[in-house]
Structure 1
Amino acid sequence: MKKKVLVITQNFAPEIGSAANRMERICEILNEAEAVTVFTTEPQYPQRAIYSKDKFRTSSSSTGFIIKRVKTRRYATEKNLFFRFLLYLEVFIKLLLAIRREKQNFDIVLATTPPLSIPLVALFAKRKFKAELVLDVRDLWPESMQIFNHFIATIARRSSYWIERVIYQKADRIIVNSEGFIPFIREKVGESKEILFLPNALMPKEFYSKRKFNTKEFFKVVYVGNMGAAQDLDSFILLAKSLQDHPHIRFQMIGYGADYARIRKRINDERLWNIEIRSPEPRQKIIEHLKSADIAYVGLENIPILHTVIPGKIIDYMGSALPIIGVASGYSKKIIEQARAGIVFEEKQIMAIKKVLLDWASHPEIRFYHGENGRAYAEKHFSWELNQSLLNKFVVGDDDEEKSHDVCLERVYK
């Protein structure tokens, strides 16, 4: 008999970003064997207005499970932390009321964080349905709020540590998307609780094995994703500025975030003709842009809490066979170097990055080496097909050993 799984998430398809994509894939996998119901919001990240466009209406493939959405007010959350926390509060209240009214019973509740308000709703659902709670941790909150230099973030962070501890301790099992989170969570829950490392991953069609590493008339360096406090994009802009005397090398930025408008203005004001900046695109279009690029840029500020993460864009870059260059530390740097997928610097060394980039532009065999290494590593470690049996077994207790995969990274920590 199928178990009933309730998934609670603030972000879900057709929203862009790794959170929505991750939860859609998890729900699709679980729904193949179980009965999944999703409680989420109307599409609103990063801006509600973009989802009125046709290209986003058809960007989701979610089928076969029930999706129940709550509608919220419009908030200018990208630049205003106060409005962002108001949104979290409204989502918390409306999801809580929706679950209170829910007539169906559930065997398992799966909630994802951040924000912390979502697992708080899940604790209520766990109690109401007498269900097991599986917590999916995509980022360490409230610790990650250290990147915001704002008194509201400071107050929220300092007042939320006890909530975080309670949530981790009340969860029956925990999933993380970065191995860098595990030591931190272990301090909160002890050694007995099971923790599954389930990284963000790619579908088979998203891997790109036909890349041609040859000399081209124009050479494109791409950055995709969030443009905010955690990302070092000043280095990307300075790199492009330093290469304006190499007109065959072009730069492209595709994304969203608190710094998007500022970056666009800077590009226009400084007349950086070799940088193209584009507004958010559906995931399918992003994958197409990556396939047409030659080198991918990653930029993370050197802040201790960011040393624990691996941004989803790194996995997308590797799956697209793009050699990676940029600035990163900690777990992200470790994975890129372990995969031999590129060269990243811990400090903002523009001239050093420029030298590597020019070398790669004239030596396609080096790009081939890093690009193919990255793709092979991603196929081995960052595939949703490989995640499938382990996820089912961990969340709902699927004991079909014939389906298990011996994957070195995807494993349960006990």
Structure 2
Amino acid sequence: MKSVLMIVQNFYPEIGSAGNRMKNIYLHLKRNGFEVTVITLKPSYPNQSLYQDTKFWDEESIEEDVIRIKPDKVKRYTSNMGKRLLHYLEAMWLFIYTIIRLEKKYDYVFATTPPIFPTFAALIAKKKMKAKLITDVRDLWPESLIGVGVFTNKWVLKIAFFLERKLYRHSDFIIINSPGFRDYIVAKGVKEEAIQFIPNSLTADELTLKNLLTPVSEKVIKVVYAGNIGLAQDLKKLIAVAEKLREHKRIEFSMIGYGYRISEVEKEISSRGLTNIKMINAMNRRVTLHEVSTSHIAYVSLVEKEVFNKVLPGKIIDYMCVGKPIVGDVDGRAKKMLKEAKCGLVAESRNVDEICQHILTMASDPALREELGENGHRYAKQHFQWSKNIKGLINVMEASG
């Protein structure tokens, strides 16, 4: 039996696309006959207290394969980027320390980025164990940090780009969750045949949720955003949309979220005196999907920067899962997929007026919403099933011996 050591910063039971992706890769490697050990941090995203609730710990058997470490000195998720960087560095050293103490050797080491710093531990594990290194690229980091303009220290960026190049070049295989990352990684010196596209995907159970849903009342049209409220999402624009549509009493907005900018967003809503938009606390994945399913329209947005044109937001796939029509303030890969799937309306101008018009169009046309939602669900079943997509990773691992 081949063995895999996963070195990941986010893992079950943490909410968010990173933790969910790592959990599903772990589960499917196990189901395909691999022995898997996970080194990860104790759950703390977006905060540690969230995971005192037992509803997040719904798969106890996973813990048998997990080594959890806890950084003590630096608060993990803070609005101070300097402190977050210190956390990443502390986590990196704790990963390295744990790996050095491991007696068991593994056939494969699996790492994921971002952030880039803890993946340095994977390079050490590869060398120590003479293992093949699989790197999962979920975002182009540190490129995306530059894109949102919050971190400009040239020395830190220089180190981060050095680690990025080193990681890519020493990886035996690279998997990406957006095809938009391929050219960027090839330009860093990686052979194209070493790169495998494995999108964020859905389980068989998740894909059946739509069939279990009861019809949603048309008395109030609910527009929902679910996911990270961070630097890349540009949710102030959604607040501006809610303000512009505040006289449309039948339309209500909600954000189910967590992340770097949640306090800022809450203050913005309060300062504008908006009562047609509410914040909903972070929930586990299944409850979140159910909450999204009770809405009529789903919203996705990304900051208008070139680096984010390469991104394929996982929330689009989640919206498709429960058959919700999507209004998108996106470009690049995300826009291409929405149009290919025919599951939403995209704001071509990227402005508030056009977003408002798309919401009003959907709000007044139940048949259009039904058609777009069905298209999205059908597309998800065709392209985003974990049981199918994981085969790309399994095949390259088995072919490598």
Partner of 2:187: helix, strand, or coil? helix
State the partner residue of 2:114: 114
Alpha-carbon distance in structure 1 between the residues aligned to 2:312 and 2:153: 23
Equivalences for residues 47-66 of structure 1 within 5 A: 47-56=47-56, 58-60=57-59, 63=62, 66=65
Distance 1:80 1:148, change over 3 A: farther
Matches within 5 A, 1:98-137: 98-137=98-137
Do structure 1's residue 45 and structure 2's residue 45 form an aligned pair? yes
Cα pair 2:117 2:160 within 8 Å, conserved: no
Distance in 1, matches of 2:142 and 2:250, equals 44
TM superposition shift of 1:153: 5.0
Instruction: Tell me what 1:26 maps to.
Output: 25
1:284 maps onto 2:283 in alignment: no
Q: Distance in 2 between matches of 1:273 and 1:141?
A: 37
Question: In the alignment, does 2:79 pair up with 1:79?
Answer: yes
Cα 1:316–1:153 shift into 2, 3 Å: farther
Which of 355, 362, 365 is residue 363 of structure 1 equivalent to? 365
Contact 2:182–2:192 at 8 Å: present in 1 too? Answer: no
**What's 1:170 paired with?**
170
Which ranges in structure 1 are unaligned for 5 or more consecutive residues? Answer: 400-414
- The residue number in structure 2 matching 1:381 is 383
Q: Evaluate the alpha carbon distance shift between residue 269 and residue 108 of structure 1 in structure 2; reply closer, same or farther with a 3 A threshold.
A: same
- Taking only the aligned residue pairs, the percentage that are identical comes to 38
SS of residue in 2 equivalent to 1:117: coil
How far apart in 2 are the matches of 1:138 and 1:262? 25
* CA distance in 2: counterparts of 1:359 and 1:150, whole angstroms: 36
- Quote the residue 2:313 is aligned against: 311
Distance 1:166 1:68 in 2: 26
Shift of 1:152: 5.2
Give the structure-1-normalised TM-score: 0.91
Per the alignment, residue 96 of structure 2 pairs with 96
Provide Cα deviations, 1:278-337, integer angstroms capped at 9, x if missing partner.
121111111111111110001111101001001111110111111100310111111111
Distance 1:8 1:396, change over 3 A: farther
User: Are the counterparts in 2 of residues 12 and 21 from structure 1 also a CA contact under 8 Å?
Assistant: yes
Paired residues of 1:213 and 1:367 also in contact (CA < 8 A): no
Which residue pairs with 1:209 in the alignment? 210
Alignment of 1:285-304 (within 5 A): 285-304=287-306
Deviation for aligned residue 1:388: 3.2
Deviates more, 1:63-72 or 1:129-138: 63-72
Distance 1:222 1:62, change over 3 A: farther
Task: Provide the secondary structure at the position in 1 that maps to 2:363.
Answer: helix
Task: Give the Cα separation in 2 of the matches to 1:173 and 1:153.
Answer: 30
Which has the larger displacement, 258-267 or 172-181? Answer: 258-267
1:154 CA displacement:
4.6
How far residue 76 of structure 1 moved from its aligned partner, in angstroms, is: 5.5
Distance 1:140 1:391, change over 3 A: same
2:68 partner amino acid: R
Aligned residues: 397
Please give the alpha-carbon distance, in whole angstroms, between the structure 1 residues aligned to 2:192 and 2:259. 38
1:264 matched residue in structure 2: 266
Q: Which residue of 2 aligns with 1:218?
A: 220
Unmatched segments (≥5 aa) in structure 2:
none
1:145-175 per-residue CA deviation (whole Å, 9 max, x = no partner) reads 1134345555422332222111111111111
Q: Tell me, in whole angstroms, the C-alpha distance in 2 between the residues paired with 1:49 and 1:388.
A: 33
One-letter code of the match for 1:295?
I
Q: Deviations over 1:11-58 (max 9, x none)?
A: 0011111000000000000012110000111111122222223333x2
State yes or no: 1:234 paired with 2:236.
Answer: yes
Change (3 A) 1:337 1:217: same
Q: Secondary structure at the match of 2:118?
A: helix
Secondary structure of 2:149's match? coil
The code of the aligned residue for 1:351 comes to D
CA–CA separation in structure 1 for the residues paired with 2:195 and 2:394: 14
Partner residue of 2:11? 12
CA contact (8 A) 1:6 1:106 kept: yes
- Tell me how far apart the structure 2 counterparts of residues 97 and 193 of structure 1 sit (CA, whole Å): 33
| One-letter amino acid matched to 2:70 | K
Counterpart CA distance in 2 for 1:353 and 1:151 is 30
- Retained in 2: the 8 A contact 1:36–1:65? no
Coordinate RMSD, CA, aligned: 1.9
| Structure 2 residue matching 1:38: 3-state secondary structure | strand
Contact 1:145 1:154 (C-alpha < 8 Å) held by counterparts: no
Give how far 1:119 is off.
Answer: 2.1
Task: Specify whether residues 190 and 265 from structure 1 end up closer, same or farther in structure 2 by C-alpha distance, changes over 3 A only.
Answer: closer
Q: CA contact under 8 A between 1:360 and 1:366: conserved in structure 2? A: yes
Q: Distance in 1 between matches of 2:154 and 2:293?
A: 40
The 3 A distance-change label for structure 1 pair 313 and 212 is same
- On the 8 A contact 1:296/1:325 being kept in 2, the answer is yes
Measure, in 1, the Cα distance between the counterparts of 2:256 and 2:270: 16
Task: Tell me what 1:184 maps to.
Answer: 184
| Alignment check: 8 A CA contact 1:81 1:153 kept | no
